[in-house]
Amino acid sequence: MNKSYESKSAIIVLYGSSDYKILDKKLNGQLDTMCLSNSIDNKDNLETEMTYPSKVNTRAICVVKTDKQSDNDWRNLGGKYYSRYKEQVDHVYFDDEMPKEVYDGAMMAKYSFSKYKTKDKPTYAEIHVDDIDTIDMLHESVYFSRDLVSEPGNVLFPAEYAKRINDTLSPLGVNVKIYHQAQLEEMGLDLLLSVGQGSARDSYVVVMEHMNGKKGDSPIALVGKGVTFDTGGISLKPGRNMGDMKYDMGGSAAVVGAMHAIANHKVKKNVVGIVGLVENMPDGTAIKPGDVVTSLSGLTVENLNTDAEGRLVLADILTYVQNEYSPCCIVDLATLTGAIVATLGNEMAGLFTNSTEWSDNIMSAGKYSGEGFFRMPMGQNWNKMTDSKIADMQNIGGPYGGSTTAAEFLYRFVDPTIPWAHLDIAGMCWNRSDKDTCPVGAVGFGVKTLFNLVKNEKKSCEMAIDEDMKY
C-alpha cells in the first residue's frame, strides 16, 4: 500500500481486513475524520462503504472478509466497485491483504477497446497494489486476446492476424511457424482451405511452440478456430447482427492469449498451440452445399451447410498437430455452434471430452480462473448422425443436438487413445451487456483456464479414456 497520496487524487481503498487501526494507519489517519455507515467489525457484511467529509480527498470502501463468499463473488465485487468509481477518481489503491480475486476482478473490468474513437476516449483510474505477481501478467494476456477479438474484420484478416501473433509472441521466446496458402495446399489441408476459398484473402495456419519442459516429453496441444469473419458463405447468415461475426475467431484468440501467458510466465511445460486462420465469404469460388472435400486425414466430408465451417478448420489442424507433435493431450476451443448457446445461454461453455479425468482437470482450472464449463454428452448415436450417404461423413448432423454432433464430427479426427476435449465457447466469447468484470464486447474467455490447466497439469500422459468413448 502506498503511504502517501496526491492531494488532487480521489482514492478508493479496498481492504480485506476488519482491523480499524490498521486501515486508519494506511490512510494516514484520515479514517478518523470519516463516519462509518456500518460497523467494520460486522463480519456478516460483505462490504461496508464509508461516507467522508467534502474536504477529504480519500474515499474508502472497506471490504470485510466472510466465508460465505466464493472467489467469483470477490471478483465481481472488485469489478463492481472499480466500474462504479473508475471515471470519478484518478487512482484506485488496493491493499495487499485483500482477497486477490478482488484485484483480479478490478483488472478484468478495467479493459476498454477504444482505439478507433477519435474523440471522447474514456480515461479510467489507474489501479495500484503492492504485490502484483502472476495475476497482473495474466491480465496482459487476457487484454491481448480481447484486443484480437475486438478488431473489425477489415483490420484483422488472416495475414494480419498471423503477423500479430508472430510480432507479439516471438519476443517472448515462442517459436512461431506461419504456413501460408500455397504451403497449406502442398500439405493437403483441403478442408481448412475449402472454408476460405470464397475469400479474396489467403488462409493461414500458425503454430506456436513453447518447449520449456523436459526434453522428449510430449507436448500439450491447444487448438483454436480462427475464422476472422464468418458470413456463413453460400449458406448466408441473416444480415441482422452479422457484424458480430468478427468474434468467430474467439477460440483462436484464447489459444494465442494462453500461449502469451505461458511464455510470459516461462511455464516449465512443453506446449504447442495451433490456430487455423480463414475468412468465410460467399463469392463465385466459394464452396457450395453438397460439395465433397478430402481432409488431411484422408477422410472425405460432404459439406451440407457452409455455415458449419469451423469444424472443417479444426478437423485439419487437429490432424496436423497429432501427426507432427504426437501430443499427450489435446484441448480445442471454438465459437462453434448456436446450439450450445441455446442450451447453456451465456453462463457456461460446453465441454465435450473422451476422458473424465481430463474433464475434471479442465473444470478445476476453470473454477480457479472464474470461468465456467458444463460437461455435455457424447456417444455413438450422436456420432452416427454425421454419417453421409456419399462420403465418409457430413458436416452437420440434423436439426437437433447440434453442439454434440459438432463435437462428434471433431472426434472423428482425434486419435481415441489421446485425452481430448472440445470447448464450445460460442456463448462466452462476447458480452452483449456490461458485466462486473468485463464491459460490453470481447471477454477473453478461456485464456486463464488454459494457462492454469497447462501450468498445473501433472498427469496428462496417465489420464484414462472413458470406456464408452472408445469407438
Assess whether 412 carries a catalytic annotation: no
d(CA 208, CA 216): 17
Catalytic residue from among 100, 110, 269, 311? 311
Q: Which residue has the cell 451487456?
A: 433
Q: Are 206 and 177 in contact (CB under 8 A)?
A: yes
Cβ atoms of 81 and 12 within 8 Å: the answer is: yes
Residue 202, C-alpha cell as written in the block: 489467403
Nearest to 191 by CA among 271, 40, 289, 311: 311
Active-site entry in 164, 177, 237, 375: 237
What is the rounded (10 degree) CA torsion for 117, 202, 255, 336? 90
Residues with Cβ within 8 Å of residue 35, at least 6 apart in sequence = 50, 51, 52
From first CA to last CA, the distance across the chain in angstroms is: 57
Cell numbers 474467455 correspond to: 445
Crossing angle (nearest 10°) for helices 447-456 and 133-150: 140
**Is 75 a catalytic site residue?**
no
At how many degrees (to 10) do helices 133-150 and 100-110 cross? Answer: 30
Instruction: Just list the catalytic residues.
Output: 237, 311
